[in-house]
């Protein structure tokens, strides 16, 4: 690691004026909430002290990324109430996939705002933000400068829902693997589109070990022989790693095709799996069960989620309650990590030790020039 840090000793840290984020619920700061209703209480309780558009008790990895770059938390592009886009915009929505889904959110739980839609929003936002800025006054204060688009960091964290959507349709892992190349082609084409719009600095997260998440463990029962020592489903985590190998290859190809880009591939899978397989090392007591939920082996019930209520004698009674101390739990609601877990993931990726090339976050504009030969 020191060898790679030496590479950056003569470089000055990047001054990213903005972040533009594309993704799913792992980085949604209010997009889905703006469309379909706010993520309900107790979401947000640990940090914001009320729901804040995030499927978490507090902050997400993208929040810690923004904070470490001395930028404000990102406003969701789809949120028209109180948003400030001076330092970027967040196009992510919970339930998003790379490939468009031919189903509704009511039917499947997956968002209609797939990655191509998120790109269309960005494509539209770029010129419209400048038209708004030119009106002066408050508009000038709420929009990024034209030159910020080429100096911004473009972050991506998407792909998990492309894999689970197939499994939830009772596809085998082999059948899901068969469409992964198409998913990755669509991902690459969006990165190229952003590059053609002037984007140069890319920070791309791979997908996490979704075979360790209660919403998968509960919905797709698996024989005990297919669980690893941490209690995760081995074939599903293998599928995630298969996707990640393909994503890494796609990034290598993108570097060849986009000569002015600095693209950092970030192994979030290893950071997340470390929390689940070695919870004590990271200060956690409960690695797999959901902190906020109701019933069953994993404290997860897809019909009564975190914050869920049931009718008892004509009254609504909260049964999807949060655990007493979410900071000791990795999983928040059966699908997403707690703020404490997100912070530990961020702590593991910020220095570049899980990245290829091993570029620290603050040097992600130097990735291309600094690659060792």
Pairwise CA distance, residues 63 & 215, whole Å = 24
Domain presence at residue 146: yes
Pairwise CA distance, residues 9 & 60, whole Å = 29
Q: What is the pLDDT of residue 309?
A: 95
pLDDT at 123 over 90: yes
Domain presence at residue 306: no
Domain presence at residue 57: yes
What CATH number is given to the structural domain containing 116? Answer: 3.40.50.1110
Domain presence at residue 243: yes
> pLDDT-based confidence at 104, cuts 50/70/90?
confident
Q: What is the pLDDT of residue 370?
A: 39
pLDDT at 3 over 90: no
Is there a contact between 96 and 156 (Cβ–Cβ < 8 Å)?
no
Task: State the sign of the Cα–Cα–Cα–Cα dihedral 76, 46, 299, 280.
Answer: positive
Domain presence at residue 320: no
Is there a contact between 86 and 74 (Cβ–Cβ < 8 Å)?
no
Number of domains in the chain: 1
**What pTM, to 2 d.p., does this model score?**
0.96
Q: What proportion of the chain, given as a percentage, has pLDDT over 70?
A: 95
Q: What is the pLDDT of residue 105?
A: 84
Catalytic residues: 25, 333, 336
Domain presence at residue 301: no
Domain presence at residue 297: no
Domain presence at residue 252: yes
Pairwise CA distance, residues 125 & 120, whole Å = 8
State the residue for tokens 């504009």.
365
Instruction: Name the residue range of residue 57's domain.
Output: 19-290+335-363
* Residue ranges of E strands in the chain: 19-23, 88-90, 153-157, 201-205, 262-266, 286-290, 309-312, 315-318, 329-331, 355-356
- Give pLDDT tens digits for 217-241: 999 989 999 999 999 999 999 999 9
Q: What is the pLDDT of residue 369?
A: 42
Q: Encoding tokens for residue 188? A: 């690459």
């Amino acid at each position: 690691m020191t060898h790679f840090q030496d590479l950056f000793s003569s470089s000055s840290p990047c001054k990213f004026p903005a972040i533009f984020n594309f993704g799913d619920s792992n980085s949604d700061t209010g997009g889905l909430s703006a469309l379909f209703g706010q993520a309900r209480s107790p979401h947000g309780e640990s940090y914001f002290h009320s729901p804040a558009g995030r499927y978490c008790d507090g902050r997400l990895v993208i929040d810690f990324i923004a904070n470490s770059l001395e930028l404000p938390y990102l406003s969701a592009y789809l949120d028209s109430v109180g948003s400030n886009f001076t330092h970027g915009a967040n196009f992510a929505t919970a339930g998003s996939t790379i490939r468009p889904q031919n189903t509704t959110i009511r039917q499947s739980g997956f968002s209609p705002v797939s990655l191509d839609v998120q790109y269309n929003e960005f494509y539209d936002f770029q010129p419209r933000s400048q038209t708004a800025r030119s009106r002066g006054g408050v508009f000038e204060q709420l929009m990024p400068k034209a030159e910020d688009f080429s100096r911004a960091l473009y972050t991506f964290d998407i792909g998990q829902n492309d894999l689970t959507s197939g499994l939830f349709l009772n596809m085998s892992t082999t059948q899901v693997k068969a469409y992964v190349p198409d998913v990755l082609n669509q991902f690459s084409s969006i990165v190229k589109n952003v590059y053609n719009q002037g984007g140069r600095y890319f920070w791309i997260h791979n997908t996490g070990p979704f075979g360790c998440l209660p919403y998968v463990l509960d919905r797709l029962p698996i024989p005990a022989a297919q669980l690893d020592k941490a209690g995760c489903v081995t074939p599903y985590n293998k599928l995630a790693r298969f996707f990640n190998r393909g994503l890494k290859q796609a990034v290598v190809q993108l570097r060849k095709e986009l000569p002015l880009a600095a693209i950092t591939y970030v192994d979030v899978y290893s950071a997340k799996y470390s929390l689940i397989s070695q919870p004590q090392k990271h200060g956690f007591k409960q690695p797999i069960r959901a902190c906020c939920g109701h019933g069953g082996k994993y404290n997860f019930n897809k019909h009564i989620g975190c914050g869920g209520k049931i009718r008892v004698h004509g009254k609504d009674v909260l049964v999807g309650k949060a655990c007493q101390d979410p900071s000791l739990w990795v999983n928040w609601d059966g699908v997403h990590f707690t703020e404490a877990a997100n912070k530990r993931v961020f702590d593991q990726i910020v220095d570049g030790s899980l990245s290829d090339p091993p570029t620290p976050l603050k040097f992600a504009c130097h990735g291309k020039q600094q690659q060792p030969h």
